Amino acid sequence: MSESAFSKLNLAEPLARAVAEMGYESMTPIQAQAIPVVLTGKDVMGAAQTGTGKTAAFSLPLLQRLLKHENASTSPARHPVRALVLLPTRELADQVAQQVKLYAKHTNLRSAVVFGGMDMKPQTAELKRGVEVLVATPGRLLDHIEAKNAVLNQVEYVVLDEADRMLDIGFLPDLQRILSYLPKQRTTLLFSATFSPEIKRLAASYLQDPVTIEVSRPNTTASTVEQHFYSVPEDDKRRALRQVVRQRGITQAFVFVNSKLGCARLARSLEREGLKTTALHGDKSQDERLKALDAFKKGEVDLLVATDVAARGLDIKDVPAVFNFDVPFNAEDYVHRIGRTGRAGASGLAVTLVSPGDGRLVGDLEKLLKRKLEIEPIEFEEDRPRGRINDGRRAWREQDDEDRPQRSWDERRRESRAAPAPKDPFFDQPYQPPAREEVPAWEANAKPASSRVSANIKTKRKVAALFKSTT
């Protein structure tokens, strides 16, 4: 029997049965190293590539240690929060909560998830009934703490998952406030894809003599993912994406873009071109985001066009490909994006479309990956469409000849502007005063003042008027 088999862990029977039902046999490297340490009650600082099973690495040992508090009582007082799991995004929180429920389904341990974008009332009702394991995003958890729906004075275990992402999006003040509500004596587990200086400072502040577990070189990509970088003009990116999908026979893929507006526009464009597409970005409501993810998981859509809100932690099995429609602004996000494919040892494809203006971003990526990237040219099979074509930027381009040189959108916009009117030289001449001062016509035709008016009285000066007197 393999040394990394789950049966070697001596898990409690309810947990072992749940693991067997989920088809788990061998542990991943992060699981094999982290689970025995967490079972001893020590603080852990763990780093691993995305998609390597970090959720099970902290969930299973926590549930094992919480079984001593298991009870079937209906009283909320018998089910206080004893383990708190904090995550950066709503989708990731929902996914981790589902995994915890599956692991604990044969026990009497209760779990719940709270995140923003949803009505607080159902979450409040669930918290009032009592839960042992609470999965949450920082902002919504603080809302429940302030409303006195969540009491954290009996928490024994805290998990900060995807901690680097939480710091990136500005959750540090929220984390500090939440941790201030917790008992000083607790076990803290910090899991992150990278160990940046900020993460190390956070660990030094809140972890006590942590055991460092690092199962891969920082910022490495999975060896099972085939990576390609294609040089494509900005206007031809959609065409290149369609061609690669068709040539490779790709049935499902993530398509990552850098902006919410670009995400929505690209999804609409691909939908009009006959590809079953849905969009996932921060401007969508939580209900819309969950429905988009659910449709993608069920295979109802082919392409999930998303911003980096979907780049971290989402575990969707058997996704064959990832497209970087835009090179990410943050080089580390590239590692997380392509981690959506090639998960759990499966093979995957990652395609990045590089436009001429992406030189600096590609340079940052080469520094991170510590290798020179080969930018490949792409040759299109089909003829360029003729006629007026909407390029997705509220501009139209004319293409009557496929050999006509391509012009950028800015060049076409400058050419479309009307030519300036010719200048009149009269307006360039300097001002010249008249040779003699002419008396205005209304003063020249004025009647002389009556002799009956005293010489000491000055008459009013007459001025031109644009209205007609009625007197």
Tens-digit pLDDT profile for residues 403-456: 445 555 455 555 555 556 677 777 778 877 777 766 666 666 666 655 565 666
Edge-to-edge strands, sheet with 277-280: 277-280, 303-306, 253-256, 321-324, 348-354, 225-231, 375-377
Maximum Cα interatomic distance, the chain, rounded to a whole number of Å: 132
Domains in the chain: ranges and CATH: 6-214 (3.40.50.300), 225-401 (3.40.50.300)
- 141-172 pLDDT per residue, tens: 999 999 999 999 999 999 998 887 788 778 88
Name the residue with higher pLDDT: 330 or 326.
Answer: 326
Mean pLDDT of 391-396: 48
Residues 6+ apart with CB under 8 A from 85: 58, 96, 100, 133, 134, 135, 136, 159, 161
Element housing 271 (H / E):
helix 260-272
Q: Are strands 303-306 and 277-280 parallel, antiparallel or unpaired?
A: parallel
Alpha helices in 118-196 (DSSP H): 120-129, 138-146, 163-168, 172-180
Name the residue with higher pLDDT: 180 or 24.
Answer: 180
Residue 8 is given by DSSP the state G
Share of the chain above pLDDT 90, in %: 27
Element housing 396 (H / E):
strand 396-399
Positive or negative: CA dihedral 380, 276, 52, 283 = positive
